[in-house]
A = this chain, B = another copy of it.
Amino acid sequence: MTQTPKSIAIIGSGLVGSLLAIYMKKRGHEVTVFDRRPDIRKTEFSGRSINLAMSDRGWKALREVEIEDNIKEIAIPLDKRAMHVIDTPLYFQEYGKDGEAIWSISRGVLNRRMIEIAERSGVHFKFEEKVWDVNLPEANLYTGETEKGEWTEYRFDIIFGCDGAFSRVRHKMQRRSRFDYSQHFIDVGYKELSIPANPDGTHKLDKNSFHIWPRGDFMFIAMPNLDGSFTCTLFMPFEGAISFESITTKAEAKTFFTTYFPTVQKEIDNLTEDFFKNPTSAMVTMKCYPWTYWDKVALVGDSAHAIVPFYGQGMNAGFEDIFVLNQIIDKHGDDWEHIFQEYQEVRKPNADAIAELSYRNFLEMSSKTADSEFLLQKKIEKRFAAKHPDKWIPVYSRVTFSDRPYAEALAVGDAQEEIMRRVMQLPEIGTQWDSPEVEMMMLDGLREETVNMD
């Protein structure tokens, strides 16, 4: 459905803000993007980003505005996990069938390119202009040098808050009565580190793998960049025996890396330097509702639903918000009140679902990777899925290599979990895990479960 052109402000020039700008401009609207930060095309990156893993939902949203190929130029497909387990030779786990892959992209490189695309399409960017206040019913913005100084007023028809987990736009909505809100931090922080390229520009570890060093309470990961380097992230508790707090000297850092990450021994000087140079960041799950105000204001991406990064879906979920919003616009045309109402009703349960799945992945990685019963369960599931690929699609695949709703993936996952709970209670499961009885029990379980597991 065509739309009357509106004057639209987008707060935040990050990934979600710039993609939404591209979508809205393509629909013929006048689009201005505000960002309190300088133009990322002219600055260094911050050293506090986890590399991105673009998966099916993200690509689908890019495809819709015909920039998928453009972005694939700066992405590296990863078709497997490379598992660096202590006292075990390096081994690989393929992600899915038929070469299914997630794609490693540097946040900074991607963001620069998307702003470039948006600007070329006619989007107007206002960098280093901080929005201090929003008049929600009027869709007016107030920007200025300082909170207490002179402000400039802007009037728009519609404002989108794409200003991330600590959104100023949401902050304004939050002061209204009957606005539900929660922010929950986990006790684990993260720090960006890096592994440089070989002198000839090649990668020091397998390029097409997502590298993981799981260590129970903490974890190290590495994702490749185009220039041969890897962007790595160390996830570790803030406090405790092995924690960011407990490592205070270069010698302690070196001992830590040598002890727990022997496969990157040669990089230790680099990693140690980064360890003290880069900040330690916190991770939060943020939920809120409503996401919109009349036909005037809407939150998109992290500002509406920030999640912990352990499913690699933060950006994908934000891009899917935009894809779904665009579909709803197709249905309702100029009726923005309906558009916003349906948008939040459709997306909220899915945002809650991916938040839950991401948080569970965090719990799983911190507490269960060394649990033998958990590993046995995963082995049984894997065997069954290989034999009945149409009947048992793992939740990871449903989230990563599908565009079915996140809420469905969560529900199916719960149903699978219930079947496995019963299977794992079998007294002889340790020895009988690959028996026909277990297989039958799982097939029966699938028949009983009311959730649609197609």
Contacts of A175 in B (CB 8 A): 166
Query: Looking at the complex, which one of B178, B184, B238 makes contact with A180 (CB distance below 8 Å)?
Result: B184
CB of A168 to closest CB in B, whole Å: 11
| Copies of this chain held together in the complex | 2
Q: CB-defined interface of A138-152 with B at 8 Å, one 1/0 digit per residue?
A: 000000000110000
Contacts of A238 in B (CB 8 A): 178
| A183 and B180 contact, CB distance less than 8 A | yes
Q: Does A185 contact B (CB under 8 A)?
A: yes
Query: In whole angstroms, how far apart are the Cα atoms of A183 and B178 in the complex?
Result: 9
| B185 and A177 contact, CB distance less than 8 A | yes
Query: Looking at the complex, which one of B147, B174, B182, B282 makes contact with A178 (CB distance below 8 Å)?
Result: B282
| A183 and B185 contact, CB distance less than 8 A | no
Q: Within residues 157 to 210 of chain A, which ones have a CB less than 8 A from any CB in chain B?
A: 166, 174-175, 177-185
| A181 and B178 contact, CB distance less than 8 A | no
| B182 and A184 contact, CB distance less than 8 A | yes
| B181 and A182 contact, CB distance less than 8 A | yes
Query: In whole angstroms, how far apart are the Cα atoms of A223 and B150 in the complex?
Result: 51
Nearest CB in chain B to that of A181: its residue: B183
CB of A421 to closest CB in B, whole Å: 20
Contacts of A182 in B (CB 8 A): 181-184
Contacts of A178 in B (CB 8 A): 185, 238, 282
CB of A119 to closest CB in B, whole Å: 32
Query: In whole angstroms, how far apart are the Cα atoms of A147 and B151 in the complex?
Result: 13
Contacts of A179 in B (CB 8 A): 183, 185
Contacts of A177 in B (CB 8 A): 185, 282
CB of A117 to closest CB in B, whole Å: 33
Query: In whole angstroms, how far apart are the Cα atoms of A184 and B287 in the complex?
Result: 11
CB of A66 to closest CB in B, whole Å: 39
CB of A147 to closest CB in B, whole Å: 8
Contacts of A180 in B (CB 8 A): 183-185
CB of A237 to closest CB in B, whole Å: 12
Nearest CB in chain B to that of A287: its residue: B182
Q: CB-defined interface of A54-96 with B at 8 Å, one 1/0 digit per residue?
A: 0000000000000000000000000000000000000000000
Contacts of A185 in B (CB 8 A): 177-180
Contacts of A181 in B (CB 8 A): 181-183
Nearest CB in chain B to that of A174: its residue: B183
Which residue among A178, A179, A181, A185 has the maximum number of chain B CB atoms within 10 Å of its CB? A178
Query: In whole angstroms, how far apart are the Cα atoms of A175 and B174 in the complex?
Result: 13
CB of A140 to closest CB in B, whole Å: 16
Query: In whole angstroms, how far apart are the Cα atoms of A179 and B178 in the complex?
Result: 21
Query: In whole angstroms, how far apart are the Cα atoms of A178 and B237 in the complex?
Result: 12
Query: In whole angstroms, how far apart are the Cα atoms of A143 and B80 in the complex?
Result: 58
Nearest CB in chain B to that of A189: its residue: B178
Nearest CB in chain B to that of A186: its residue: B178
Query: In whole angstroms, how far apart are the Cα atoms of A25 and B430 in the complex?
Result: 66
CB of A187 to closest CB in B, whole Å: 8
Q: Hey, which bits of chain A sit against chain B, CB under 8 A?
A: 147-148, 166, 174-175, 177-185, 238, 282
Given contacts A178-B185, A180-B185, A181-B182, 7 further A-B contacts (CB under 8 A): A177-B282, A179-B183, A179-B185, A180-B184, A181-B183, A182-B183, A182-B184
Question: When A and B form their complex, which 9 residue pairs have the shortest distance between CB atoms, in order from nearest?
Answer: A182-B182, A178-B185, A177-B282, A181-B183, A178-B282, A180-B184, A148-B148, A180-B185, A180-B183
Sample 10 A-B pairs with CB under 8 A, ordered by A number: A147-B148, A148-B148, A178-B282, A179-B183, A179-B185, A180-B185, A181-B183, A182-B182, A182-B183, A182-B184
